[in-house]
Amino acid sequence: MQFHLNGFVPGNLQLSESARKQLAVSSSVKIPSEVDVLIVGCGPAGLTLARQLAEFPEITTCIIDPKSGPMLFGQADGVSCRTMEIMEAYNASELILKESYWLNQITFWEPEEGARHNIKRIQKVPDPRMGLSEFPHVVLNQARIHDLLLGGMRNSAVKLEPVYNNRLVNVSIDEKCYNDLSDFPIEASIESIDKNKKSNIETIKARYIVGCDGARSKVRKCLGIPLQGDSTNKSWGVMDALVVTNFPDIRVKAFIKSENEGSILIVPREGGYLVRLYIELEQLELNQRAANLNIGLEELTAAAQRIFHPYELTIKEVPWWSVYEIGQRVAESFDNLTPNKEEGGHPRAFIAGDACHTHSPKAGQGMNVSIHDTFNLGWKLASVILNRSVPQILNTYSQERRAVAQDLITLDKDFTKLVAGKQQHKIKIVDKNANTEAIKDYFTKQTGFIAGTSIKYGASLISAKTKHQDLAKGFYVGQRFHSEKVKRLADGRCLHLGHLNKADGRWRIFIFGDIKNPIDSKSSCHQLFEYLSKSQDSPIKKYTPKGSDIDSVIDIYTILQCRDDLSIEHLHDFLLPTKGKYHLKDYEKVFSPIPDNDIYESRSINRETGCMVVVRPDQHIANILPLNGFQELESFFDGFMIKL
């Protein structure tokens, strides 16, 4: 499907261009007086959090935004491998794969030897992120990602809709009821603007508030959380454009460094025609803002044409463009807790996305890291509100995500130095020895971080130390569960094991059987199944509410090594749990390796002993244990779960 042949048209790409319209904004959505969670901002962080909380009918959520309706176009475009995995958890990956541009190659251009006013391709290489995940790195308009998240909210049991035309005025926290988890210590003043432009101030009380309201976050300011960092005093322009050009790599991601006119990063966009150009502009004076430069679209176009020389570039349509300065800053904390808070305290207010970290867009991390922030936070909030977990797990959000943001700032500073090329003798931030080869080498070195697949959370209440890492060397404690295909025993279907990790708030334990026959009552597998299903100390028995399905809180999947004589009727009853009001058997819990793509080999799982891999609701591995590690399994869950 060619989306942009006759000009850019926003909206649902499953519809024809003539039928595409802006999503209607519901006028019936009102600000409630009390909610469990108030989300401020309908960017990727806010919508990801709202999408997660919409999974739980017991939780009341309100999400507000000062804009008049959903985003139509512009801003972020890169969708990392890790973000694709998260969107699969929301059952939205297939549409993204269908509609997006896949980044399979990268080209590098430099001044031509002997004619340095011209540019010449140096090399074309595969995207180094290929193979890090079952999903590729793709490009899709941020507005379309928003559409998919909004659709999931709208189609949930709670039918959650944003409340637009509402601006946060102030936030206060009542310390008197702060520690009462059933109370509403957050009080927010919200200004609404009706269709007649009349202003009205309303008050909403909440158990928790999350500021996803951008770099100038009102929530962050009300909480008194400072940003730390600085600006590079360098300005860049960005435009989405429909172009006519004889430049051969316009449909390939490309880095161009000219001799004296600066650099350009080319990112092809979905639909076959649209392209994004990041264009290096002038050095800023101290304390000067790019917004005050009065740089227009003509100046951006002229700068791009100079860098493209000797190739021609004609701009036909620009649906979105902007000029920005590079600043790398990270908030001192991602929640309202301060070092002098009493030990054992927990946060009630959080910030996420651009509200707590700002950086340049060229590494394609803004939307992705924002989504990852609230994917980390959402299940934790839900677990506490539903009284499944102690509130101290909320402390791990700032701990885990701030460390990622600091690494991101370091990467962004290094990357900015490498890609800057204009007036190198005047700009201190530029690495004068940098060329496109250095860019390629650095990009390859950092590819796991950029893809989001190598992010590792440290030991905490909900992430164990790496005591038993040797049992499964390809599943790293602290990193996300790296999927691999397996075969379902009941029907022989091959599917990705990681795709069972849906964003439904459940913990999961993947049991990888040892070499012995699991039917043997003396085998480690059989003894584990007996313990999990019958012992009162089993986390399954201890934390599953009475009357609920056995997998409603902790979901178990088992991978048994291939045996010709193993069949579904031989399995332990625990592997075929009865569920629902009719007590039907679930036949989709047991798998075996695929012979030519054996998960035991690809993830370096000890065949002799097998192991348990404990996975958090955000798909990160929390623990690896031996099959007989009953006591360690109990101790881990007892550290943060609440017995009902």
Q: Are 302 and 415 in a shared domain?
A: yes
Residue 5: both structure tokens together: 């042949």
User: Tell me, what's the pLDDT at 74?
Assistant: 65
Mean pLDDT over 109-124 rounds to 93
CB under 8 Å to 24, separation ≥6 — which residues?
A: none
CB under 8 Å to 220, separation ≥6 — which residues?
A: 211, 227, 331, 351, 355, 356
pLDDT for residue 200 is more than 70: yes
Mean pLDDT over 66-77 rounds to 82
- Print the domain residue range for 633: 469-638
State the pLDDT confidence band at 643, using cuts at 50, 70 and 90: confident
Which of these ranges, 61-75, 80-94, 95-109, 507-521, has the smallest mean pLDDT?
61-75
Q: Which amino acid is at 30?
A: K
Q: What is the pLDDT of residues 515-531, one digit of tens each?
A: 999 999 999 999 999 99
DSSP 3-state of 206: strand
CA distances from 586 to 357, 490, 498, 500, 551 (A): 44, 10, 18, 14, 10
Catalytic pick among 51, 144, 207, 269: 269
Query: Is the peptide bond between 310 and the residue preceding it cis, with omega within 30 degrees of 0?
Result: yes
User: Tell me, what's the pLDDT at 345?
Assistant: 87
Q: Are 214 and 90 in a shared domain?
A: yes
pLDDT for residue 432 is more than 70: no
Q: Give the Cα separation of 364 and 360 in Å (integer).
A: 8
pLDDT for residue 639 is more than 80: yes
Residue with more model confidence, 444 or 45 = 45
115-126, strands of its sheet edge to edge: 115-126, 105-112, 253-257, 263-268, 274-283, 227-245, 313-331, 357-358
In DSSP terms, 257 is beta-bridged to 263
Q: Are 217 and 235 in a shared domain?
A: no
Does the residue 358 lie in any domain? yes
CB under 8 Å to 487, separation ≥6 — which residues?
A: 493, 494, 591, 592, 593, 594
User: Tell me, what's the pLDDT at 468?
Assistant: 97
User: Tell me, what's the pLDDT at 492?
Assistant: 93
For residue 254, give the H/E element and its range. Answer: strand 253-257
State the pLDDT confidence band at 17, using cuts at 50, 70 and 90: low
- What phi, psi does 231 have (nearest 5°)? -115, 150
Which of these ranges, 198-212, 286-300, 438-452, has the smallest mean pLDDT?
286-300
Residue 61: both structure tokens together: 């959520």
Q: Which amino acid is at 487?
A: K
Q: Are 342 and 322 in a shared domain?
A: no
Closest by CA position to 229, among listed 356, 397, 372, 339: 356
Which of these ranges, 33-47, 113-127, 342-356, 420-434, has the smallest mean pLDDT?
420-434
Residue 406: both structure tokens together: 């600091």
pLDDT for residue 444 is more than 60: yes
Does the residue 17 lie in any domain? no
Q: Count Cβ atoms within 10 A of the Cβ of residue 209 and give its class: 0-12 exposed, 13-18 middle, 19 or more buried.
A: buried
Mean pLDDT over 58-73 rounds to 92
User: Tell me, what's the pLDDT at 285?
Assistant: 46
CB under 8 Å to 331, separation ≥6 — which residues?
A: 220, 225, 226, 227, 228, 351, 355, 356, 357, 402, 405
Measured at the CA of 589, the angle between CA 583 and CA 595, to 5 degrees, comes to 155
Tell me if residue 273 is catalytic: no
Tell me if residue 595 is catalytic: no
Does the residue 199 lie in any domain? yes
By percentage, how much of the chain surpasses pLDDT 90?
70
State the pLDDT confidence band at 339, using cuts at 50, 70 and 90: low
State the pLDDT confidence band at 150, using cuts at 50, 70 and 90: very high
Does the residue 234 lie in any domain? yes
Q: Which long-range contacts (CB under 8 A, 24 or more apart) does 119-122 make?
A: 119/256, 119/257, 119/258, 119/307, 119/308, 119/309, 119/310, 119/311, 121/248, 121/249, 122/436, 122/437
Does the residue 473 lie in any domain? yes
pLDDT for residue 176 is more than 90: yes
Q: Give the Cα separation of 270 and 60 in Å (integer).
A: 36
For position 360, which CATH number holds? 3.50.50.60
Q: Give the Cα separation of 436 and 600 in Å (integer).
A: 39
Q: Is residue 587 within 8 Å of residue 442, measured between CB atoms? A: no
Which of these ranges, 401-415, 533-547, 593-607, has the smallest mean pLDDT?
401-415
Q: What is the pLDDT of residues 233-257, one digit of tens each?
A: 567 889 999 999 999 999 999 999 9
Mean pLDDT over 85-89 rounds to 97
Q: What is the pLDDT of residues 598-631, one digit of tens each?
A: 999 999 999 999 999 999 999 999 999 999 999 9
Catalytic pick among 66, 361, 539, 577: 361
Catalytic pick among 77, 127, 555, 598: 77
Q: Are 542 and 553 in a shared domain?
A: yes
State the pLDDT confidence band at 428, using cuts at 50, 70 and 90: very low
- What phi, psi does 52 have (nearest 5°)? -65, -50
- What phi, psi does 407 have (nearest 5°)? -65, -35
State the pLDDT confidence band at 446, using cuts at 50, 70 and 90: confident
User: Tell me, what's the pLDDT at 288?
Assistant: 47
Q: Are 304 and 269 in a shared domain?
A: yes
DSSP 3-state of 435: coil
Does the residue 13 lie in any domain? no
User: Tell me, what's the pLDDT at 289?
Assistant: 52
Q: Are 205 and 242 in a shared domain?
A: no
Q: Are 494 and 607 in a shared domain?
A: yes
Tell me if residue 136 is catalytic: no
Mean pLDDT over 585-601 rounds to 95
Q: Encode 215-247 in three state secondary structure.
A: CCCHHHHHHCCCEEEEEEEEEEEEEEEEEEECC
Q: Give the chain's radius of gyration (CA, Å).
A: 26
Q: Are 267 and 348 in a shared domain?
A: no
Q: Give the Cα separation of 78 and 553 in Å (integer).
A: 34
User: Tell me, what's the pLDDT at 423?
Assistant: 44
User: Tell me, what's the pLDDT at 326?
Assistant: 67
Q: Is residue 270 within 8 Å of residue 3, measured between CB atoms? A: yes
Q: Give the Cα separation of 210 and 381 in Å (integer).
A: 10
Continuous H helices in 191-333: 218-223, 297-308
Closest by CA position to 487, among listed 596, 612, 626, 625: 596
Which of these ranges, 241-255, 374-388, 408-422, 522-536, has the smallest mean pLDDT?
408-422
CB under 8 Å to 39, separation ≥6 — which residues?
A: 46, 49, 50, 61, 62, 63, 64, 209, 210, 212
Q: Are 268 and 375 in a shared domain?
A: no
Catalytic pick among 164, 208, 278, 457: 278
Q: Are 254 and 234 in a shared domain?
A: yes
Mean pLDDT over 338-355 rounds to 82
- What phi, psi does 634 have (nearest 5°)? -60, -50
Helix 81-89, helix 366-385: angle, nearest 10: 30
User: Tell me, what's the pLDDT at 330?
Assistant: 93
By percentage, how much of the chain surpasses pLDDT 70?
89
Q: How many domains does the chain have?
A: 3
Q: Is the dihedral of CA 264, 323, 227, 188 positive or negative?
A: negative
Does the residue 501 lie in any domain? yes
pLDDT for residue 340 is more than 80: no
**Average pLDDT taken over every residue of the chain:** 89
Q: Are 301 and 439 in a shared domain?
A: yes
Please, what is the end-to-end C-alpha distance for the chain in angstroms?
A: 52
Does the residue 615 lie in any domain? yes
CA distances from 123 to 3, 105, 435, 488 (A): 30, 10, 12, 43
DSSP 3-state of 304: helix
For position 409, which CATH number holds? 3.30.9.10
Tell me if residue 269 is catalytic: yes
State the pLDDT confidence band at 292, using cuts at 50, 70 and 90: low
CA distances from 363 to 366, 377, 404, 520 (A): 8, 24, 15, 53
CA distances from 267 to 216, 278, 363, 373, 422 (A): 27, 8, 11, 25, 20
